[in-house]
Every structure is written in structure tokens, then in C-alpha cells.
């Protein structure tokens, strides 16, 4: 007689969850939901029989990644692999805005959306989801700092600027920080009941709140010590993107401000116009590149974001009072020490 093994009464088949990973992902957006999901057990009384979720980190481009804070992670696989997914979580982070990451994520979401039961977006992870068109007409929550920009960029999406986290159909969205963990706790309650969710909430010392709850909403003004704070990381970002089209509109969008207000605020903070600031950074970077022996004026101009060599020459002379060609010769000449010059002259004399 054939015998069958009967699973214990409290046995639960784990639900598949994939957290998308990429270089520059925000650590808390990834690890917060991960820790909450992995803490969920079918038996909340303390007798743990197995996890409620089978969680995998899935790389957008490659299996290894480095978070914004420098944490190095190895993913289980990439989105190119074939795998079944019930829930997908999209974390935020500066690396999200890199063209290749953003484009692949949008394409993948659009292609596989019908195979996914639900999609979760944390903070600025909302951008690729909104770009895919999947949440047109849906109500969403996101980080207070980008809520207005999301509403402007995606007018077909209904941004709720007061809710911490929201569920609308198969889409779950939240702000950053602890809001993402609270959202996952509500998701766990939806999947496995209040007892399991409360057990995780106690372990993580968090509150269990329903979707759309506003009682614990963090007032943005308690964090916004001044509009100048929005420009704090802009110089470093400009320096890393000198070869891109850095118009006032682009920079204003980056700071989540309208162009007119951005110009006024930028001049107040840096005592210089945005255009002049960008030009100065480009010329400073050009000076460093011109010292390299293999560098040419043409390729340096292109590398630091000038449309053509002629405009680069004019800007360089205006800032430095010397042409880039003359500067290059002078700078490279100083790199040749007297000893090297003597050796070169001797070699020429022998020849």
C-alpha cells in the first residue's frame, strides 16, 4: 500500500518574493523588507516550523552589487533568469537613476507584470513602476520629498501625500525608512493573519498599522530644516555627471524644485548662477584631464560635457585666461623634470 507523508497542521508553503537589487540601492529599502519577511513564521507561538516567505535578491544587471552605504551583496540570480515570482519588491536608491538600470527595470516590469501577483515599490522605487504605465489611475504613496515631483512627472498616477503606505489592487507603495517595514507588516497580516504579523512587529519593535493609515504620518516639515537642504548633494552629483546635459531644468528636477525657484535658491546658496557653477566644475575637471599625456583638447571637451571644441575653448579662456592648448603644453611641460630633459637632450645628441 502506497504511503503518503502528511505535513504538519501548521505547515505553510512559503510565498516567493523577489527583491530587485542594483548598484546604488538604498540599504534600508532592501534590508528592511527583507528582515521583516524573513522574521515571519507560520507558528507565531514561538515553535518555528519554517519561514512564511522564500525571499531572493534578484540583480538587475549582475549578481554582485554595492549599496549606497557601501554594503556589498551577492544576489541569487539576475532578472535574465527564469524563475517564478509571487511578489516583487522595488527598492529605491541613487543607482536607480542610471540609464541602464532604469531602462531594464521598466522593460522587465512591463514584460512580466502578468506573471506577478503583486508589485511593491518603496520610496523612489515608484519611478520605474510609474514609467511602466502599470499604475496609471492608481492611488500610491511615496517618500514625502519626491511626492510632488512624482505627481508632476506622472499625472496619470494619483499621489497621496499623507498616507504612509497604500495598497491599490495588486500594487503596494510606501515612503522610505520605517514606512517600508510597516507596509511589509501589513502585507504579512494580509497573507498569514494578525497573529503572525504581530509576532514580527514585536520582534522588530514596530507598530502594526493598516494600509492607508495616517495616524503616524511623519510631517515633512519636521525633517525639512530648510529648502537649501535640497541642494546639499547637488554639487557632488553634478561632478559625477559632467558629460550630461545639465540644464537648469535638469538640475531643478533633480532638486524637486521648479526652475524659477531653483535659480533663486541656487544663487542664494552658492553665490553663483547654476550655469556658471556647472561651467566652473567642467573647466576644473578639464584642467585635470589636460595634464594626461595622451589627452587631446577635442576628447577632453567631449568628456566634460561641451557640445563642441569651439565652445570649450571659449569657456576655458574665459575662466583661465589661457587657451586649453597652451595650458596643456605648459602643464605637461612641468611634468618633465630637469633630469628627464637632460636625458632626452643626450639621447637626441647621440642620435
CATH number of the domain where residue 35 is located: 3.40.50.880
Query: What's the domain count of the chain?
Result: 2
Specify the pLDDT at position 338: 46
Q: Are residues 66 and 213 in the same domain?
A: yes
Q: Report the pLDDT value the prediction gives residue 227, as an integer from 0 to 100.
A: 54
pLDDT tops 60 at residue 6: no
| Structural domain containing residue 314 | 227-334
Domain boundary among 161, 189, 220: 220
Looking at the chain, the whole-number percentage of residues with pLDDT higher than 70 is: 82
- Over the stretch 16-65, which tens digit does the pLDDT of each residue have? 999 999 999 999 999 999 999 999 988 654 455 678 999 999 999 888 88
> Domain ends where: 205, 220, 235?
220
Does the residue 48 lie in any domain?
Answer: yes
Mean pLDDT confidence for 339-348: 45
Confidence (pLDDT) at 231: 78
Specify the higher pLDDT residue, 176 or 159.
159
Q: What is the pLDDT of residue 79?
A: 84
* 149 and 243 co-located in one domain: no
According to the model, what pLDDT value does residue 20 have?
94
Length in residues, the chain: 351
pLDDT band at 344 (very low <50, low <70, confident <90, very high): very low
120-170 tens-digit pLDDT: 999 999 999 999 999 999 999 998 888 888 998 999 999 987 788 999 999
Domain-embedded: residue 109:
yes
∠ Cα 238 91 80 (to 5°): 100
If you average pLDDT over every residue of the chain, what do you get? 83
Residue 4 lies in a domain: no
Q: Give the 3-state DSSP-derived string for the chain, with helices as H, strands as E and coil as C.
A: CCCCCCCCCCCCCCEEEEEEECCCCCHHHHHHHHHHHHHCCCCCCCCCCCCCEEEEEEECCCCEEECCCCCEEECCEECCCCCCCCEEEECCCHHHHCHHHHHHHHHHHHHHHHHCCEEEEEHHHHHHHHHCCCCCCCEECCCCCCHHHHHHHCCCCEECCCCCEEEECCEEEECCCHHHHHHHHHHHHHHHCHHHHHHHHHHHCCCCCCCCCCCCCCCHHHCCCCHHHHHCCHHHHHHHCCCCCCCHHHHHHHCCCCHHHHHHHHHHHHCCCHHHHHHHHHHHHHHHHHCCCCCCHHHHHHHCCCCCHHHHHHHHHHHHCCCHHHHHHHHHHHCCCHHHHHHHHHHHHHC
Residues 186 and 238 reside in one and the same domain: no
* Predicted pLDDT at 228: 57
For residue 90, the model assigns a pLDDT of 96
Q: pTM of this prediction?
A: 0.61
Q: Is pLDDT larger for residue 77 or for residue 227? A: 77
38 in any annotated domain? yes
In a domain, 302, yes or no: yes
Rounded (5°) CA angle 340-342-344: 70
Q: Do 205 and 114 belong together in one domain?
A: yes
91 and 198 assigned to the same domain: yes
| Residue 97 belongs to some domain of the structure | yes
Q: Average pLDDT in the 96-108 region?
A: 88
Predicted pLDDT of residue 83: 62
Domain match, 201 and 146 both: yes
Same domain, yes or no, for 175 and 83?
yes
Is 96 found in the same domain as 39?
yes
Q: Which of 220, 244, 273 is the last residue of a domain?
A: 220
- 216 and 135 housed in the same domain: yes
| 5 in a structural domain | no
Segment 74-81 mean pLDDT = 81
C-alpha cell of 312? 570649450
| Whether residue 270 has pLDDT greater than 70 | yes
Note whether 111 and 156 are same-domain residues.
yes
Grid coordinates of 154: 506622472
User: Are residues 161 and 298 located together in one domain of the fold?
Assistant: no
For residues 195-213, average pLDDT = 85
Mean pLDDT of 242-259: 88
How confident is residue 81, by pLDDT bands cut at 50, 70 and 90?
A: low
Say yes or no: 186 and 330 in one domain. no
Q: Report yes or no on 85 lying in a domain.
A: yes
Most confident option among 26-35, 90-99, 285-294: 26-35
Average pLDDT over residues 239-246: 88
CATH number at residue 297: 1.10.10.60
Q: Name 19's bridge partners.
A: 57, 89
Amino acid at each position: 500500500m502506497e504511503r503518503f507523508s502528511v505535513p504538519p497542521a501548521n505547515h505553510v508553503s512559503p510565498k516567493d518574493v523577489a527583491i530587485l537589487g542594483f548598484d546604488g540601492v538604498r540599504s534600508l529599502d532592501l534590508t528592511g523588507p527583507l528582515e521583516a519577511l524573513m522574521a515571519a513564521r507560520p507558528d507565531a507561538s514561538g515553535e518555528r516550523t519554517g519561514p512564511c516567505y522564500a525571499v531572493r535578491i534578484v540583480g538587475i544587471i549582475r549578481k554582485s552589487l554595492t549599496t549606497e552605504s557601501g554594503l556589498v551583496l551577492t544576489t541569487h540570480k539576475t532578472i535574465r533568469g527564469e524563475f517564478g515570482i509571487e511578489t516583487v519588491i522595488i527598492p529605491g536608491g541613487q543607482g536607480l537613476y542610471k540609464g541602464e538600470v532604469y531602462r531594464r527595470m521598466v522593460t522587465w516590469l512591463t514584460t512580466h507584470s502578468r506573471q506577478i501577483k503583486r508589485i511593491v515599490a518603496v520610496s523612489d522605487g515608484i519611478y520605474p513602476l510609474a514609467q511602466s504605465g502599470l499604475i496609471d489611475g492608481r492611488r500610491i504613496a511615496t517618500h514625502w520629498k519626491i511626492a510632488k515631483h512624482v505627481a508632476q512627472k506622472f499625472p496619470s498616477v494619483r499621489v497621496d501625500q499623507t498616507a504612509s503606505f497604500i495598497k491599490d489592487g495588486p500594487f503596494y507603495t510606501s515612503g522610505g525608512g520605517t514606512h517600508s517595514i510597516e507596509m511589509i507588516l501589513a502585507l504579512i497580516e494580509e497573507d498569514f493573519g494578525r497573529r503572525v504579523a504581530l509576532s514580527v512587529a514585536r520582534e522588530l519593535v514596530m507598530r502594526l498599522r493598516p494600509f492607508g493609515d495616517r495616524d503616524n504620518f511623519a510631517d515633512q516639515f519636521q525633517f525639512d530644516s530648510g529648502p537649501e537642504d535640497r541642494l546639499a548633494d547637488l554639487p557632488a552629483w553634478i561632478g559625477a555627471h559632467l558629460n550630461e546635459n545639465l540644464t537648469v531644468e535638469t538640475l531643478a528636477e533633480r532638486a524637486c524644485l521648479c526652475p524659477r525657484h531653483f535659480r533663486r535658491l541656487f544663487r542664494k546658496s552658492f553665490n553663483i548662477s547654476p550655469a556658471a557653477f556647472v561651467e566652473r566644475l567642467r573647466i576644473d575637471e578639464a584642467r585635470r584631464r589636460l595634464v594626461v599625456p595622451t589627452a587631446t583638447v577635442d576628447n577632453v571637451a567631449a568628456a566634460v560635457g561641451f557640445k563642441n571644441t569651439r565652445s570649450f575653448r571659449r569657456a576655458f579662456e574665459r575662466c583661465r585666461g589661457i587657451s586649453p592648448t597652451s595650458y596643456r603644453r605648459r602643464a605637461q611641460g612641468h611634468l618633465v623634470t630637469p633630469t628627464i630633459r637632460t636625458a632626452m637632450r643626450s639621447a637626441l645628441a647621440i642620435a
